[in-house]
């Protein structure tokens, strides 16, 4: 068994960040790398990732105009509770490594930016997921304007083989969060950057503003190899 394979046994790692940061691409690249190192991994997505969670995801992201921020929080927590029960906990109990696209860190950032107290989000999270919190959360940081350019311009093109449409978004239609104002997205970013002050587990920030995707991937690898968590 290799050193990295042993180190990541039963570990829960989350990639998160503002819209347009490139999570989907980096999760794909991380999955390929870890498999090449013999790491047995499970990739999860939050919200969603289960039949119940996928229904909640569709409702809260695309069919919820006028939804109250408290309702958003509750729906995301419900989806997350199901994901933990069906996917994350079973994988961790069998010593697999779980890589998750977003988690409670996203609720802190997005619903926190909407006015919900982060302390209360974390308390609700404890009820939803129990002790299943990430060992490591990697936040991919990007300026909101640049992130919007990445996802907005490419959505308008609707070209199936376009780079960002393929790797950065899951629909050519803007959801209710990435269509909110730049001021709102700025608050989201600030909360992500300050997450390590209150969030359980280790939080690392990676500059995702560069167009050099390989450089970002190498920084994520370096964190996994060199950081104790």
d(CA 145, CA 57): 25
pLDDT over 70 at 226, yes or no: yes
Annotated domain spans of the chain: 3-226
Convert the pLDDT of each residue in 182-223 to its tens digit: 999 999 999 999 999 999 999 999 999 998 999 999 999 999
Convert the pLDDT of each residue in 28-67 to its tens digit: 999 999 999 999 999 999 999 999 999 999 988 876 677 8
d(CA 138, CA 202): 8
CATH superfamily of 3-226: P-loop containing nucleotide triphosphate hydrolases (3.40.50.300)
């Amino acid at each position: 068994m290799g050193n990295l394979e042993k180190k990541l046994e039963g570990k829960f790692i989350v990639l998160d960040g503002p819209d347009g940061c490139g999570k989907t691409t980096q999760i794909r690249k991380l999955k390929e790398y870890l498999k090449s190192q013999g790491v047995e991994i499970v990739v999860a997505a939050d919200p969603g990732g289960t039949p119940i969670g996928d229904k909640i995801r569709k409702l809260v992201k695309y069919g919820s105009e006028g939804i109250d921020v408290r309702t958003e929080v509750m729906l995301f927590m419900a989806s997350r509770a199901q994901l933990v029960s069906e996917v994350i906990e079973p994988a961790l109990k069998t010593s697999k490594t779980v890589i998750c696209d977003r988690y409670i860190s996203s609720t802190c950032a997005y619903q926190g930016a909407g006015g919900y107290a982060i302390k209360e989000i974390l308390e609700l999270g404890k009820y939803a997921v129990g002790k299943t919190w990430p060992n490591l959360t990697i936040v991919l940081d990007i300026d909101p304007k640049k992130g919007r350019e990445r996802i907005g311009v490419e959505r308008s093109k609707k070209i199936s083989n376009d780079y960002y449409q393929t790797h950065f978004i899951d629909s050519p239609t803007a959801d209710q969060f990435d269509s909110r104002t730049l001021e709102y997205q700025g608050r989201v970013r600030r909360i992500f950057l300050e997450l390590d002050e209150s969030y359980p587990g280790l939080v690392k920030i990676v500059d995702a503003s560069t167009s050099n995707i390989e450089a970002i991937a190498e920084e994520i690898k370096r964190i996994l190899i060199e950081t104790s968590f």
